[in-house]
């Protein structure tokens, strides 16, 4: 009785051309294929009753984790969601014609089944140029080629992770010690901001082109002129002539 019930349950959830929906993201140590992604998508749609777009977004988030672990640059999330929706639309078209036995229909089903076994490729268009480690390039190449070497992901390369962490720390320190930041820090420590400089007589740009005349210092140009007192008066001149 229990076996019969389980068989009916599996039959009710089985997806044509795909089999059972995938309840867990069991990608393993390789990048997921189209069939794995689509079965995971159907789990969200038929078992968890998610909307089509929400299911595609959830699967995209799970797949992105694997690609990030493989250190391979990916496309935007929106494009990954569109790719899943296109796969689903292709399955829907075939599902509508699954009772047809025409040669073209049979060929379409066969092509789709073969495509399910290929990589769900969300790699960046310039992935090979952006990747800096040759082993990562070889891994992506093997995942994209059905007949190529099927490399697998190993554990975290701790030495590489440490080097990248130190490089990141050096970059942060370099940015924090740049001349522009140092000037800003000095200005902040003196307690004078842009508004304080103007309030305390700082240069506001209006006198930037002022230049003192030749032979006159800046101090004399700004000080008032003194009144001259005559020394040779008429009385002094007459007394000087009488002698």
Q: Closest Cα to residue 72, out of 153, 3, 166, 169?
A: 153
- For residue 58, count other CB atoms closer than 10 A to its CB: 19
Report the pLDDT value the prediction gives residue 94, as an integer from 0 to 100. Answer: 96
Task: Note the pLDDT tens digit of each residue in 133-143.
Answer: 898 898 999 89
Q: Which residues of 164-195 are buried (b: 16+ CB within 10 A; e: fewer)?
A: eeeeeeeeeeeeeeeeeeeeeeeeeeeeeeee
* Site of tokens 């769900």: 120
How crowded is the C-beta side of 26, counted as CA atoms within 13 Å?
A: 6
Burial of 67 (0-12, 13-18, 19+ CB in 10 A): buried
Report the pLDDT value the prediction gives residue 160, as an integer from 0 to 100. Answer: 55
Task: Note the pLDDT tens digit of each residue in 63-115.
Answer: 999 999 999 999 999 999 999 999 999 999 999 999 999 999 999 999 999 99
The alpha carbons of the chain give a radius of gyration, in whole angstroms, of 40
Q: Is the pTM higher than 0.85?
A: no
Going from N- to C-terminal start, the domains of the chain cover: 35-152
């Amino acid at each position: 009785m229990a076996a019969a019930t389980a068989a009916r349950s599996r039959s009710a959830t089985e997806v044509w051309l795909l089999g059972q929906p995938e309840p867990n993201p069991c990608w393993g140590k390789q990048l997921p294929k189209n069939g794995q992604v689509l079965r995971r998508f159907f789990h969200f749609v038929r078992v968890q009753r998610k909307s089509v777009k929400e299911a595609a977004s959830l699967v995209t988030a799970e797949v992105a984790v694997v690609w990030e672990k493989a250190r391979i640059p990916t496309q935007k999330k929106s494009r990954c969601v569109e790719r899943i929706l296109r796969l689903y639309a292709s399955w829907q078209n075939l599902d509508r014609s699954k009772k047809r036995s025409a040669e073209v229909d049979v060929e379409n089903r066969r092509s789709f089944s073969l495509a399910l076994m290929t990589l769900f490729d969300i790699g960046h268009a310039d992935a090979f140029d952006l990747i800096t480690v040759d082993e990562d390039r070889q891994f992506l190449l093997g995942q994209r080629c059905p007949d190529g070497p099927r490399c697998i992901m190993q554990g975290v390369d701790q030495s590489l992770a440490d080097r990248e962490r130190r490089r990141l720390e050096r970059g942060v320190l370099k940015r924090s010690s740049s001349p522009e930041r140092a000037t800003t820090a000095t200005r902040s420590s003196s307690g004078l901001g842009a508004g304080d400089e103007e309030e305390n007589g700082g240069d506001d740009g209006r006198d930037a082109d002022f230049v003192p005349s030749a032979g006159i210092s800046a101090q004399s140009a700004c000080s008032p002129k003194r009144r001259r007192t005559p020394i040779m008066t008429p009385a002094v001149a007459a007394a000087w002539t009488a002698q």
